[in-house]
Amino acid sequence: MKPINKIHLILLTIFVSAIGASAQDARLRFDNLASLEKNASEVVEVNVDGKLLQLAKRVLLKVKDQDAQKIGKAIEGLEGVYVRSFNFDSENDYNIADVDSVRSQLSSPGWEKLARVRSKKDNQKIDVYMMFRGQDISGLAVILSEKKQIALINVIGPIDIDTLVELSGKMNIPEISISKDDDQNDN
Amino acid sequence: MMKNDYLWDKTGSDPEITKLENALSVFRQKDLSPPEIGIPSTIADGRAKRPFHKLFSFGVVSFAGLTAVVFGLSIFVMIRSGNVEMVNTDLPPGVETTESISAAEVSPMPEVGSGSTMAEAPSADANKVVFASRKPAAHRKSRSRTLKNQVRHLAAENNVRLKPGVKSKVVLTEEEKYAVEQLMLGLSITSSNLKMVKDKANGIRENEISK
């Protein structure tokens, strides 16, 4: 192989890697949550991407149900959904540093803060961050920590948040209450 | 004096009349049977030589053609305007897809079952096809067998069972179920969190407004 071809190959590799890296910018790392899993009484782990996501999208679009089709359209460009949810039997049965390690990832460039909730009463912290690619949303992150609950959410790719919020609890979306009884009373 | 009765019913005798009869008897018609009506020989020969099927060929063929065209047009119009009900009676267990479509929807081929992981379509012979329309059943049966085959083919190809007035129900494969459940679970948690944040933000806003 001639030297010039080698250079081309290296440049191509760098270019492809750069494209891959930019696509993964919005991806949070959920790999150091072993201690949370260990202490939690209930763990929900969701990883939907690649072929599994394509399959789900196709089903949503083909079902003749308005809500399903709305959701299907809202997530048309979605690339991945990653969720970790932990419920604990007793209050503060986890190390907040584990959550903060994920939260700190949102300080990297690209992420923009959308909402921040701090409630001393419930020891509640909610952070909503978004990443944009041009005018489109390329990533969404929600980090929630309460006395007995932690939820880490990472959505990759454009998504219609308004539609998603509007359809919350409708269709066959399983009802998973992540808010505590105390919160509901407050509301 | 001349007797008139002889003239009417030949009773009695009247020599003058008898004499006249005798004089004119040469002109009397001898054979009183009705005359035969003869058919010209050219016509009689033509009828005998012409084959039976040619006698009716033009008229019958024209009529049949016209009927076929009218029949075809009427079926086409009915398909365009009416509903077509397709019932697949032998779908594999666990795969049941029910939806209502009009004939107009049949031609563009709905994408149900197009996925690579969907269960395979059953054989076309297993399908029972019924056409639903406003006309009596006797009319429906005789409509079109070719269309029936076409609908049957579509039903088999799309793996669908179609009934009027039944809401769409798509039964999924295990893989699809898992994919949808996982996605819905993820979206549910995401949406409920976002809703909570939104509600809190709205609550704060309302409080500020009320103050």
CA B48 to chain centre: 41
Contact yes or no for A56 and B194 at CB 8 A: no
Contact yes or no for B179 and A172 at CB 8 A: no
Kindly give the interhelix angle for A50-62 and A66-74, rounded to the nearest 10 degrees.
Answer: 140
Q: Does A43 touch chain B (CB under 8 A)?
A: no
Among A133, A132, A101, A127, smallest CA distance to A114 is for A127
Contact yes or no for B194 and A151 at CB 8 A: no
Q: Supply A182's token pair.
A: 């105390």
DSSP for A112-152, please give it.
EEEEEEEETTTTEEEEEEEEEETTEEEEEEEEEE-SSEEEE
pLDDT tens per residue across span A74-84: 888 889 999 99
Q: Which of B184, B190, B196 sits opposite A179 (nearest CB)?
A: B196
Cβ-based neighbours of A183, under 8 Å, separated by 6 or more: A122, A124, A146, B196
pLDDT tens per residue across span B160-198: 554 444 444 566 788 888 888 888 888 888 888 888 888
ipTM above 0.90, yes or no: no
Residue type, A9: L
What's residue A43's pLDDT?
92
Query: In sequence order, which ranges of chain A are alpha helices (DSSP H)?
Result: 3-23, 34-39, 50-62, 66-74, 96-103, 161-166, 181-186
pLDDT tens per residue across span A50-61: 999 998 888 888
Which residues in chain A are closer than 8 Å to B95, comparing Cβ atoms? none
Q: Which of B172, B185, B187 to mutate to test the interface with A (most CBs of A within 10 A)?
A: B187
What's residue B138's pLDDT?
47
C-beta neighbour count of A65 within 10 angstroms: 18
Q: What is the mean pLDDT of residues A41-48?
A: 92
- Percentage of residues of chain B with pLDDT beyond 90: 0
Q: Does B134 touch chain A (CB under 8 A)?
A: no
C-beta neighbour count of B148 within 10 angstroms: 18
pLDDT bin (cut points 50, 70, 90) of residue B37 is low
Residue with tokens 């012409």: B50
Q: Is the pLDDT of residue A126 over 80?
A: yes
CA distances from B80 to A68, B84, B127, B142, B162 (A): 29, 10, 22, 17, 17
What's residue B122's pLDDT?
38
Q: Does A179 touch chain B (CB under 8 A)?
A: yes
pLDDT bin (cut points 50, 70, 90) of residue B12 is confident
- Percentage of residues of chain A with pLDDT beyond 70: 77
Q: What is the mean pLDDT of residues B135-159?
A: 53
Q: Which of A65, A128, A168 sits opposite B192 (nearest CB)?
A: A168
